[in-house]
Amino acid sequence: MNINPEFRRNLWLELTPTRLVGMPMILGALLFLAYLLDNKQYGESVANTALILFGLLVFLWGTRLASEALISEIRDHTWDSQRMSVIGPWSMTWGKLLGSTIYPWYGAVLCLLVYFSSQPSLKLSLIETAVLLLGSGLLGQAIGLLSSLQAIRKNQRYGRFQTTVFLVLGAGCAVSVVSWPFAESTSIFWYGRYYPDNRFVLISLVLFLAWTIFGIYRLIRAELQLRSLPWAWGMFVFSLMIYSAGFYGENSWVTGLSAWPQRLLIAFLVALMLAYGTVICERKDPVTFQRLLQYLGRREWGRAMQIAPLWLSTLPFVLLSCAVLVIVALTSESVQQFAVPAMAMVLFLLRDFGLLLFLNLGRVPKRADMLTILFLVLLYGIIPTILTALDLSRLTELFWPIQGVPAYIVLPAALFQAVVILWLMTRRWRKTHQSY
Amino acid sequence: MIEVKDLVFEYPGTRALNGVSFQIKPGNITALVGPNGAGKTTLLRCMAALEVPLSGEVRIDGENIHEYPRACHRKLGYLSDFFGLYDELTVRQCLLHAAASHGIQADEQLRVTEQAAARLGIVDRLGMQAGELSRGLRQRLAIAQAVVHEPQILMLDEPASGLDPEARHSLAELFLALRDQGMTLVVSSHILSELDEYSTDMLILREGRILSHDPIEPPAEATVRLRVSLTEPCRGLQALLSGLSGVSAVEGDERSVVLSFNGDAAARHHLLKSLLDQGLQVCAFAEQQRNMQSAYLESVHGQDSQEGVR
């Protein structure tokens, strides 16, 4: 039988006889201690200990191992030989995700068995609890692997600090998901209906787990030099816009106003945040842009879309949702006040992206992203605060897409800033391009 | 077998490859040489589809490697300059993993593993952990991993760096054996002496451009390279020697020159005699082997002088 080579390699590395014996011995000792401390009762105390051990093994250790799975390959110079292999992207995804974390999962499954057998009463059904715990653990690990993979595609040098960031990100997401149904039971409002929170969280968990694993698959495809059109990213952006917008409108039946304009605003903000997120997370070297321009110049649209950065693929969603928002604002009073800030946000986004690209095209692009974040803090935070402190709060409208600002002030100001930065960026691009 | 056409590769701010084109025939061992930073590693990585060029194409057996990377990888073996091994796996596990990764069926994996180990002379180390091996044996294991799936083409980047002379020699023998078994090899190095033993072709890369790509042919039997050294400098030495019968391509200074001479042993004796008769104080008169080093320097100097003329 042909077993997944990546998974088999991890089994060889992780499940040595000593480790296989060691894990149940340590877990057994800790659980036995909990049993003794609880007056020799095989009950809640043992169950809670098993649950804590499960969390430590899966959320912390497992997520750390998943985050390091690829970084260690790059550090040990084995990733190139993996990329030269004929292992498919799905096999690589599962082999890395499940293989690198197999040892913590081995211990976690033992803990889960103890938890189920010792917990006197489960808040959720057995299957629901199992799906929740296993799914959230897998989600945390998948987020750790996905973020490290994206970081590697941006920059191949990563150390302990970055791994810890990926660990915190993955574990944070997993713990926030798993803790919800264990807290006091509430219902969740989504698109005009109330759903039991445990069911809603479980379905959301499965949905986001599927997206995260699919994201890993797509990034591994790219690492293996397999070309893909950005339809998957487009679908993710769209589904997240739809998903997030559904939470608004709980009081709409009281106010009698339609919730759809506000939902549209939320969808627009989600697209905007994803655009900012991707532009920071992705690599922005001039060679990629040059290649993109080459394809566009030759009218090879498919090729151009294959190599286009994700932030560029997100922009149509931002622009389209803004346009729809403006059209709706003309007919609905409830979002009229958001139309101008939304347009200003798009113009400020163009300014910010222009700034980011301008700095990335400079002589030292290594710290360009960090420098851009500092500039944005300056533009969105420090300068408006200074102006407010100087009793010049009207001038803050030049830097903030805030509600209630007249269109004739904020839009020309934002447009002017965007045009200047984009002109500077184009100038630098031409200069860089000519220097090759 | 390998066709590279108008390959351009850029790192941000640097053009590493500038319109590189060449072809490599099957069964050749091509030495890819050039100074540090010439673009050798980048070229190999583009040829292995580990990097995507800005423009141009690489074809392996007629297939564009950047269009069909997975299909081409079945035909390729690649060993990077900073190769890595899974130190905690045994040699057998390393090779089994490499075999499985290259799509070898489960029932065949053990056989090809043992075959690769035998080929590289590491059968007796199959049970050892990769981390316990010496530098030379690690190199052998890495090459065994690269050839376990019997690729048609093997690309190696600085394969002999860090090896002792004995290990380098056995590596040269190994490359010749692989060539004899039908493999095409591309070996990059900036240490020319190590390539001498096995290369059939030399591709010189400099500042991202191909300087020359020629077969390394032994000189015609009657033509030899002679080094002539004098105890005292002699003005017009090169012109004097160029005028003698059978002498061509004189290079050097007023004290020492290297020349091509067409003639047998008796003719060489007459040449020496005529030099002495003309009052030249010859202190050395010896045949110089034309090796890759001299061929490389000739190409580089030839290019430099052409650029100087321009």
Q: Euclidean distance between the first and final Cα of chain A, in Å? A: 52
Q: What is the dihedral of CA B157, B217, B6, B155, to 10 degrees?
A: -20
Chain B touched by A18 (CB under 8 Å): no
pLDDT value at B254 more than 80: yes
- Taking only the tens place, the pLDDT of each residue in A377-411 is 988 888 888 888 888 877 777 777 777 777 788 88
Mutating which of B10, B57, B70 best tests the A interface, going by the most A Cβ atoms within 10 A?
B70
pLDDT confidence tier of residue B219, bands split at 50, 70 and 90: low
Hey, are the CB atoms on B84 and A84 less than 8 Å from each other? no
Which two structure tokens, joined as six digits, stand for A82?
């993996």
What's the pLDDT at A388?
Answer: 84
What's the pLDDT at A253?
Answer: 62
What's the pLDDT at A256?
Answer: 58
Task: Please check whether residue B73 is in contact with residue B229, taking contact to mean a CB–CB distance below 8 angstroms.
Answer: no
- Select the residue of B66, B78, B86 nearest A84 (Cβ to Cβ): B78
pLDDT value at A335 more than 80: no
Mutating which of A1, A76, A84, A228 best tests the B interface, going by the most B Cβ atoms within 10 A?
A84
- Taking only the tens place, the pLDDT of each residue in A64-106 is 999 999 988 988 899 999 999 989 999 999 999 999 999 999 9
- Chain A CB contacts of B88 under 8 Å are 13
β B29-33/B184-189 pair status: parallel
- Select the residue of A13, A80, A287 nearest B10 (Cβ to Cβ): A287
What's the pLDDT at B162?
Answer: 73
Between these two residues, A159 and B18, which has the higher pLDDT value?
B18
H or E, element range at B59: strand B55-60
**Percent over 70 (pLDDT), chain A:** 94
pLDDT value at A121 more than 90: no
Chain B touched by A408 (CB under 8 Å): no
A162 phi/psi in degrees, rounded to 5? -65, -40
pLDDT value at B248 more than 60: yes
Hey, are the CB atoms on B73 and A226 less than 8 Å from each other? no
- Taking only the tens place, the pLDDT of each residue in A3-58 is 899 999 999 999 999 999 999 999 999 999 999 998 888 888 999 999 999 999 99
Question: Which of these ranges, A52-56, A361-365, A386-390, B187-191, has the smallest mean pLDDT?
Answer: A361-365
Chain A touched by B55 (CB under 8 Å): yes
**Burial (CB count <10 Å: 0-12, 13-18, 19+), residue A116:** middle
Task: Please check whether residue A35 is in contact with residue A48, taking contact to mean a CB–CB distance below 8 angstroms.
Answer: no
Between these two residues, B267 and A5, which has the higher pLDDT value?
A5
Q: How many residues does this entry show for chain A? A: 436
- Chain A CB contacts of B48 under 8 Å are 84
Rounded Cα distance between A358 and A418, Å, is 12
CA distance readout (Å), B256 to A200, B233, B238, B295, B305: 89, 8, 9, 19, 20
pLDDT value at A328 more than 70: yes
Q: What is the mean pLDDT of residues B145-155?
A: 92
CATH superfamily label, B2-215: P-loop containing nucleotide triphosphate hydrolases (3.40.50.300)
- Taking only the tens place, the pLDDT of each residue in A257-295 is 677 888 888 999 999 999 999 998 888 888 888 889 989
Rounded Cα distance between A146 and A46, Å, is 34
What's the pLDDT at B309?
Answer: 44
- Give chain A's mean pLDDT: 88
pLDDT confidence tier of residue A108, bands split at 50, 70 and 90: very high
H or E, element range at B259: strand B256-262
pLDDT value at A110 more than 70: yes
Q: What is the mean pLDDT of residues B183-205?
A: 85
pLDDT confidence tier of residue B212, bands split at 50, 70 and 90: confident
pLDDT value at B147 more than 50: yes
Chain A residue with Cα closest to B54: A291
pLDDT confidence tier of residue B310, bands split at 50, 70 and 90: very low
pLDDT value at A1 more than 70: no
Query: What's the CATH code, domain B223-289?
Result: 3.30.70.100
* 3-class state of residue A289 by DSSP: helix
Hey, are the CB atoms on A84 and B145 less than 8 Å from each other? no
What's the pLDDT at B5?
Answer: 94
**Percent over 90 (pLDDT), chain A:** 49
- Select the residue of B73, B86, B106 nearest A84 (Cβ to Cβ): B73
What's the pLDDT at A330?
Answer: 80
pLDDT confidence tier of residue A193, bands split at 50, 70 and 90: confident
Q: What is the mean pLDDT of residues B37-44?
A: 91
Q: What is the mean pLDDT of residues A132-140?
A: 93
Rounded Cα distance between A394 and A376, Å, is 19
Q: Where are the domains of chain B?
A: 2-215, 223-289
What's the pLDDT at A348?
Answer: 92
pLDDT value at B308 more than 60: no
pLDDT value at A435 more than 60: no
